[in-house]
């Protein structure tokens, strides 16, 4: 069973005029990390009282929507945090907070990064303005509209009887193995991307491509689409500079794999559960 995050977040572009800000949460992004209060090692967003007395420069503020009665804001800040506050990267939130809260933190960082990289029109160079209705930037001179960037990516577990193919990326910590992944190219279908990425990275052919689910992956702006595929043929040949090792692993004899909060682990656990159910 794949984890399902309840849709408790209502995204809006504009804060209602009559909204009470007393329960607001602020996700303050400073140089790619998020300011937070750490309670027993678990980060939480900054509330309105803490935000009011936070002595940093606020560069931009973006209303994101409502979550469990909290108005949520993505904030771009600059400066040193006072004592009692911490800066935590998104990977420090992953697995330490509930999935819905991690999703909000990732959303905030993506909105701030999008705002920061789209201050000027990419077509005519004029300053961009906020769209009056949508989460978008608009140029009043040439009428270009720019929405937040999302990069669709596939992530796939290749199956062979009771084995799964896991690989090590050249940039990962030592010992970590995971499923194969890659970005969708212009003009491709998602299924074509699965076939191409598997062949490019490990020179294997697959069939029976089956979609299982997705996860927002804000590192920096991916939407990961998860698949299982069946091994059809070929010998493992690792893509130079990308994959340092790839092997077949039995479902009950695995190396170090990603944590339970990552979509790659969902794919792995789903395969394990299927094999055990067959037994």
- Assign residue 252 the CATH number of its domain: 3.90.79.10
Task: Provide the domain limits for residue 129.
Answer: 120-148
Residue 235 has pLDDT above 60, yes or no: yes
249 in any annotated domain? yes
pTM > 0.95: no
Q: How would residue 7 be classed by pLDDT, with cut points 50, 70 and 90? A: low
2 in any annotated domain? no
Claim to verify: residue 157 and residue 270 sit in the same structural domain: yes
Claim to verify: residue 93 and residue 172 sit in the same structural domain: no
Residue 2: its pLDDT value, please? Answer: 62
Q: What angle do CA 103, 149, 227 make, to 5 degrees?
A: 65
Number of domains in the chain: 3
Residue 1 has pLDDT above 70, yes or no: no
234 in any annotated domain? yes
Claim to verify: residue 86 and residue 162 sit in the same structural domain: no
Calculate what percentage of the chain has a pLDDT beyond 90: 80
Claim to verify: residue 144 and residue 246 sit in the same structural domain: no
Claim to verify: residue 171 and residue 257 sit in the same structural domain: yes
Average of pLDDT values for 229-254?
97
Claim to verify: residue 27 and residue 64 sit in the same structural domain: yes
Residue that finishes a domain, picked among 101, 131, 148: 148
Residue that finishes a domain, picked among 116, 132, 166: 116
Claim to verify: residue 71 and residue 92 sit in the same structural domain: yes
Q: What is the CATH number of the domain that holds 52?
A: 3.90.79.20
Claim to verify: residue 46 and residue 27 sit in the same structural domain: yes
Residue 4: its pLDDT value, please? Answer: 54
The chain-wide mean pLDDT, for the chain, equals: 93
Residue 146 buriedness (CB in 10 A; 0-12 / 13-18 / 19+): middle
1 in any annotated domain? no
Residue 173: its pLDDT value, please? Answer: 72
Residue that finishes a domain, picked among 98, 116, 134: 116
Residue 242: its pLDDT value, please? Answer: 93
Q: How would residue 237 be classed by pLDDT, with cut points 50, 70 and 90? A: very high
Q: pLDDT, tens digit, for every residue of 190-222?
A: 999 999 999 999 999 999 999 999 999 999 999
3 in any annotated domain? no
Claim to verify: residue 135 and residue 174 sit in the same structural domain: no
Residue 5: its pLDDT value, please? Answer: 55
Residue 86: its pLDDT value, please? Answer: 92
Residue 14: its pLDDT value, please? Answer: 78
Claim to verify: residue 80 and residue 27 sit in the same structural domain: yes
Q: How would residue 124 be classed by pLDDT, with cut points 50, 70 and 90? A: very high
What are the C-alpha distances in Å from 181 to residues 39, 89, 196, 217, 218?
34, 22, 11, 12, 15
Residue 40: its pLDDT value, please? Answer: 86
Q: Are 135 and 148 in contact (CB under 8 A)?
A: yes
Claim to verify: residue 156 and residue 267 sit in the same structural domain: yes
Residue 3 has pLDDT above 70, yes or no: no
Claim to verify: residue 199 and residue 263 sit in the same structural domain: yes
What are the C-alpha distances in Å from 203 to residues 23, 30, 235, 236, 240?
53, 41, 7, 6, 11
Residue 102: its pLDDT value, please? Answer: 92
Q: Which of 7-21, 109-123, 211-225 has the lowest mean pLDDT?
A: 7-21
Q: Are 9 and 102 in contact (CB under 8 A)?
A: no
């Amino acid at each position: 069973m794949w984890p399902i995050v309840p849709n408790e977040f209502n995204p809006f572009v504009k804060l209602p005029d009559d909204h009470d800000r007393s329960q607001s949460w602020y996700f303050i992004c400073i140089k790619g990390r998020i300011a937070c209060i750490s309670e027993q090692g678990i980060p939480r967003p900054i509330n309105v009282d803490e935000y009011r007395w936070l002595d940093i420069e606020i560069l931009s503020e973006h209303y994101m929507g409502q979550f469990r009665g909290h108005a949520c804001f993505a904030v771009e800040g600059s400066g040193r945090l006072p004592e009692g506050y911490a800066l935590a990267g998104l990977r420090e939130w992953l697995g330490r907070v509930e999935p819905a809260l991690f999703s909000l933190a990732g959303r905030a960082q993506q909105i701030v990064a999008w705002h920061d990289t789209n201050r000027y029109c990419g077509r005519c160079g004029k300053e961009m303005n906020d769209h009056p209705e949508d989460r978008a930037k608009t140029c009043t001179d040439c009428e270009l509209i720019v929405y937040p960037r999302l990069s669709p990516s596939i992530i796939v577990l290749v199956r062979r009887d009771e084995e799964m193919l896991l690989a090590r990326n050249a940039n990962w910590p030592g010992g970590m193995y995971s499923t194969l992944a890659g970005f969708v190219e212009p003009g491709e279908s998602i299924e074509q991307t699965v076939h191409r990425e598997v062949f490019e990275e490990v020179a294997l052919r697959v069939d029976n491509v089956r979609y299982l689910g997705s996860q927002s992956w804000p590192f920096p702006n991916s939407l990961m689409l998860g698949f299982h595929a069946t091994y059809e043929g070929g010998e493992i040949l690792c893509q130079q500079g990308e994959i340092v090792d790839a092997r077949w692993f039995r479902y009950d004899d695995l190396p170090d794999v990603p944590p339970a909060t990552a979509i790659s682990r969902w794919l792995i656990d789903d395969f394990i559960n299927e094999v055990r159910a067959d037994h």
